[in-house]
Amino acid sequence: MLKYLLIIMCIVFKYVSLEKIEDQNHWKQLGYQDIEEALIPKVNMGIAKNVILFVGDGMGPTTVTASRIYGKTEKGFLSFETFSNIGVLKTYSANKLVPDSCSTATALFCGVKANHKTAGVDATVPFEDCEASLKSEARLKSIFNWAQEAGKGTGFVTTTRVTHATPSALYAHVPNRKWECEATRHANATRCKDIARQLIEDVPGKNIQVIMGGGRQCLISNVNGTNADPIDTWACYSKDGRNLIKDWKLDKVKRGSTYAIVKNTHELENVNLNTEFVLGVFANGHLKMEHARDKGPKGMPSLTKMTEQAIKLLKKNKDGFVLVVEGGMIDFAHHRGHARQALGETVEFSNAIQKTIQMTEKEASETLIIVTSDHSHSLVLSGYAERSTSILDIAQKSKLDGTEYTSLLYGTGGPDNYQFDVINNKVVRRNPALDDATSFEYAQQSAVLTDEVTHGGTDVLVYATGPMSHLFHSVHEQTYVAYVISYAAKIGPFKDMRNSSNIILSQPISIVASICLVIVLFSLLN
């Protein structure tokens, strides 16, 4: 008996050892598997009845890599990294090398580059120019306009305020992203509706069937804060006496539509799925991060739960739907220089996508899922840490100053990140070994002192699966995403065009081509 036990132990030890050292056979087998999967045709030329666009705000390539390591996900991939089609997006705005979130959201949702800190308008609208933003020719239609015109359901889910930069580009036209309510508009901009009013009163905002996120203080005046749900001092705080949630309700009553207003996880989980319009506002400002939220029935829902319920609510539309899901607190965490918080939010973002894949499995052949980011951040992964080391911990010592540093660092950062002291008339970087670098509150060190961690200008990746997902195949302008959605779902600009010849013939003749044609005709006549 002992003999057989020893043999079994030797066999187990052999295979465990081989897996641990990752020998030649391990990498050969992995290569064969990847080739076999790559050889399987995955081109789906069908029409996308449903489109689900996931936007990880601030989720640049370094964030994705670090989150994969941090999350220790099954098979070593985040849920969307196994999608068969991947491309690269250039994220610059119309006037900045490094963009903000509403100009990039405008590119993603409207297919047109916009100026820094403007949303839903083209580059003829300068920052804070109310009059320019009122011109009809400067106002852009979004994928929500296109979807609603085609009879599809629309909805968006965000962990930020529902009036925040990214979602605003779906339904609003503003020259300043900070005009979320009346309190932040300047005195000369009274002709321009704030973002909150555009969401509730105008098209396509008032026709959006599912709205979930935070931002109560932008929708209702003089709301009170609590320890669990404080007033967001960074954001607009309405004082004009409005109650836009009540106005939203009255609009649905007037239309004879069924509706529900939900305020916590319990109410969201128990909403009648046959309801036509659902408004979920779960916080005065942004929602709590996944690691900090109250996970009980009275708390704020997770991104995964909001996404799950949104899909259930929208699936009943026989013509399909377009849903946008934003993991907005990835960016929030990065701005404050807390890498672990950003990685945790990215893992939850991945969980929401995994849930979506499971929920749409039966409709996979007619559901286009796209995952991307609006912009990157200045997070870097550096040093030569052992693979067994936590992604958040010390990488090694600097060979020059002898001080340790962490694997994750920021290029720019606020006072908490800029960790330098003057000792004996010499500038000395703080040793991160003196702190708990793996905590949620730890601020990774930065090279340059700024008011906060600034965005990065590097390209971001786009991952896709489903009908026409193969159209993401190389380096693209960020605006390309909107046109892929249009072409795949047969809505908007490409609603009547589904082959390349139609596309080419439908393009207007350029000015240069027109001049050349005139010259040729003139020459022939003479």
**pLDDT score at 525:** 52
Helix (H, G, I), strand (E, B) or coil at 476: strand
Q: Say how far apart CA 63 and CA 471 lie, in whole Å.
A: 25
Q: Give which of 381, 450, 357, 325 is closest to 57, Cα–Cα.
A: 325
Q: Say how far apart CA 339 and CA 341 lie, in whole Å.
A: 5
In a domain, 348, yes or no: yes
**Hey, which residues are catalytic here?**
101
Q: Which pTM does this prediction carry? A: 0.92
Count CB-CB contacts under 10 A for residue 82: 12
In a domain, 188, yes or no: yes
- Can you give the residue range of the structural domain that contains 230? 50-378+454-502
User: Partners of 210 in the beta sheet?
Assistant: 155, 278
Which residue numbers belong to the known binding site? 57, 164, 166, 326, 331, 335, 374-375, 455
**pLDDT score at 9:** 52
Chain CA centroid to CA 318, Å: 27
Q: Give which of 347, 305, 387, 323 is closest to 59, Cα–Cα.
A: 347
Q: Say how far apart CA 238 and CA 180 lie, in whole Å.
A: 9
305 shares a domain with 283: yes
286 shares a domain with 270: yes
310 shares a domain with 191: yes
Q: Say how far apart CA 56 and CA 166 lie, in whole Å.
A: 10
**pLDDT score at 515:** 53
CATH number of the domain where residue 331 is located: 3.40.720.10
Q: Give which of 346, 289, 285, 335 is closest to 56, Cα–Cα.
A: 346
289 shares a domain with 188: yes
Structural domains of the chain, count: 2
Count CB-CB contacts under 10 A for residue 110: 27
Helix (H, G, I), strand (E, B) or coil at 85: strand
Flag residues of the chain having pLDDT under 70: 1-20, 74-75, 498-526
357 shares a domain with 435: no
356 shares a domain with 466: yes
**pLDDT score at 526:** 57
**pLDDT score at 83:** 96
**pLDDT score at 26:** 87
Mean pLDDT over the full length of the chain: 92
Which residue numbers belong to the known binding site for Zn(2+)? 57, 331, 335, 374-375, 455
Per-residue tokens: 470: 């193969």
In a domain, 217, yes or no: yes
Question: Is there a contact between 489 and 368 (Cβ–Cβ < 8 Å)?
Answer: yes
Q: What confidence tens digit (pLDDT) does each residue in 273-329 have?
A: 999 999 999 999 999 999 999 999 999 999 999 999 999 999 999 999 999 999 999
427 shares a domain with 286: no
Question: Is there a contact between 481 and 113 (Cβ–Cβ < 8 Å)?
Answer: no
**pLDDT score at 19:** 47
**pLDDT score at 65:** 97
462 shares a domain with 439: no
User: Partners of 87 in the beta sheet?
Assistant: 462
250 shares a domain with 320: yes
296 shares a domain with 442: no
In a domain, 58, yes or no: yes
In a domain, 71, yes or no: yes
**pLDDT score at 73:** 74
Q: Say how far apart CA 198 and CA 182 lie, in whole Å.
A: 12
In a domain, 305, yes or no: yes
334 shares a domain with 235: yes
The length of the chain is 526
Q: What confidence tens digit (pLDDT) does each residue in 121-174 have?
A: 999 999 999 999 999 999 999 999 999 999 999 999 999 999 999 999 999 999
In a domain, 520, yes or no: no
In a domain, 107, yes or no: yes
Q: Say how far apart CA 444 and CA 441 lie, in whole Å.
A: 9
**pLDDT score at 5:** 52
359 shares a domain with 229: yes
